[in-house]
Amino acid sequence: MNTILYKVPLIIKNNSKSKNNFELEEIKFSILPPLSVYIHFPWCEKKCPYCDFNSHDANTIDEENYLIALEYDLIATLPLIWGRRIYSVFIGGGTPSLISVNGMKKIMQMLNNLLPMHTCQEITMEANPGSTDSEKFQAFADLGINRISLGIQSFNDKHLKSLGRIHNNYQAQNAIEIAQKYFSNINLDLMFALPEQTLNQCLEDLSKAISFDTNHLSYYHLTLEPNTYFAKYPPNIPDNDSAFDMHDLVIQTLDNNNYNRYEISAYSKKNYESKHNLNYWNFGDYIGIGAGAHGKISFSDKIIRYVKHKHPKTYISQAINLIDAQKGRHIIEEKRLTAKELPFEYMLNSLRLINGSSIQNFISNTSLGYHYIDEQINLAQQKNLLEVKNNIIRPSKLGLCFLNDLQMLFL
Computed over every residue of the chain, the mean pLDDT equals 90
CB-CB contact of 35 with 84 (8 Å): yes
pLDDT tens digits for 287-307?
999 999 999 999 999 999 999
Residue 86 has pLDDT above 50, yes or no: yes
Strands (E), 94-164: 122-127, 147-153
Burial 49-62 (b: 16+ CB within 10 A, else e): bbbebbbbeeeebe
Q: List the one residue out of 131, 197, 139, 142 whose CA is nearest residue 165.
A: 131
CB-CB contact of 121 with 71 (8 Å): no
Q: How far is it, in rounded angstroms, from Cα 312 to Cα 42? A: 7
pLDDT tens digits for 186-201?
999 999 999 999 999 9
pLDDT tens digits for 1-49?
333 333 333 333 344 444 566 565 688 998 999 999 999 999 998 888 8
- CB atoms under 10 Å from CB of 144, counted, come to 16
Query: 14 by DSSP, 3-state: which?
Result: coil
> What are the chain's domains?
1-27+340-411 (1.10.10), 30-281 (3.20.20.70)
pLDDT of residue 20: 60
Strand 35-41 relative to strand 86-93: parallel, antiparallel, unpaired?
A: parallel
CB-CB contact of 330 with 309 (8 Å): yes
Question: What share of the chain in percent tops pLDDT 90?
Answer: 79
Amino acid at 395: P
Residue 124 has pLDDT above 80, yes or no: yes
pLDDT of residue 323: 63
Strands (E), 45-119: 56-57, 86-93
pLDDT of residue 12: 36
pLDDT of residue 95: 93
Q: How far is it, in rounded angstroms, from Cα 391 to Cα 357? A: 9
Amino acid at 137: F
pLDDT of residue 231: 86
Residue 99 has pLDDT above 90, yes or no: yes
Strand 56-57 relative to strand 43-44: parallel, antiparallel, unpaired?
A: parallel
